[in-house]
Amino acid sequence: NIFATRYPKVNEDRIFHDKENWIEILHLWKELKTKQLGMNEEINKLIDALPPNKQLLFGVCCVKRIENCLYKFLKNKEEEPAAIVVEGAIDRLFKSCVLAYFANSCMIFSEEVQAFVEYLIPDTDADGSNEVLYAQNAAIALVYCIRFTKEQNDDFIHYCALKILETIDVMAFNISDNERSNILVLQETETQKRIIKLIDAMPNNFDFNEIEALKETIAQFSID
């Protein structure tokens, strides 16, 4: 199931290198996952308080922040045309957040386009590198947003937030300084809260200019 929550595997190289402390490392990993789930519940409540078009806007912001990870993957696979499709899909999603378009957002993406984006989701069983995992998270978050335009299920936007948090979690786990690692995860939670606050403060009938201003703001929080 491509929409199942996938947690990254324990870094085996690190465990081998620090084999004397492998039990401690596994305990730290478990602690991180517990904290992550708690943080995500807090974010979910903030998402639920937004109207649907603003929920989608937050989800697309998540995708926008991590899109470069997917672009890099597609470029390495010499799939530049696919990157153009991804870029177009993200632009369409931003456009569909405007109330005038949101009512008909369910018709913006054909089944063919949705199936193509799902096809682009990298297979981490074939390549378990962190770079591929980051690209996978970006692609899955994009599919969640597309599905939200059709079903408006809050969970899809919850999963977008979780995919970002998972990505930061993996990046943080590769840092040998555990305190610094925890700080990165906490910072991501605060970043998501800040973006939700910005979106919540926008007028309900926000226009394209306000979306562009938001995109410029979240550019400082891009992940690549």
DSSP-derived 3-state class of residue 77: coil
2: in domain: no
Closest CA to 135 of 147, 119, 148, 123: 123
Domain limits at 81?
12-221
- Evaluate whether residue 68 is within a structural domain: yes
In a domain, 51, yes or no: yes
Residues 76-105, mean pLDDT to the nearest whole number? 92
What's the CATH code of the domain at 191?
1.20.1590.10
Which residue type occupies 111? E
Within a domain: 210: yes
Answer yes or no: is pLDDT of 213 > 80.
yes
What are the pLDDT digits (tens) for 126-150? 888 999 999 999 999 999 999 999 9
Give, in degrees to the nearest 5, the angle at Cα 163 between 69 and 81: 35
pLDDT at residue 156 is higher than 80: yes
Q: Is residue 191 part of a domain?
A: yes
Largest separation between any pair of C-alpha atoms in the chain: 60
Tens digit of pLDDT for each residue in 11-37? 434 433 444 554 555 555 555 555 555
Question: Looking at the predicted structure, is the pLDDT value of residue 194 above 90?
Answer: yes
Look at the chain and report how many structural domains it folds into: 1
184: tokens are: 């990165």
Task: Give the Cα separation of 139 and 146 in Å (integer).
Answer: 11
Burial environment of residue 76 by CB neighbours within 10 A (0 to 12, 13 to 18, 19 or more)? exposed
In a domain, 170, yes or no: yes
Instruction: Please count the CA atoms within 13 angstroms of the CA of 82 that sit on its side-chain side.
Output: 21
For residue 123, is it within any domain? Answer: yes
131/137 Cα distance (integer angstroms) = 10
Whole-number Å distance between alpha carbons of 49 and 99:
17
Could you tell me how far CA 59 lies from the centroid of its own chain?
8
Residue 186 has pLDDT above 70, yes or no: yes
pTM attached to this predicted model:
0.81
Please give the single-letter amino acid code of residue 187.
Q
Is the sign of the CA dihedral 164, 144, 118, 105 positive or negative?
negative
**5 within a domain of the structure (yes/no):** no
pLDDT at 2: 34
35 contacts 185 by C-beta, under 8 angstroms: yes
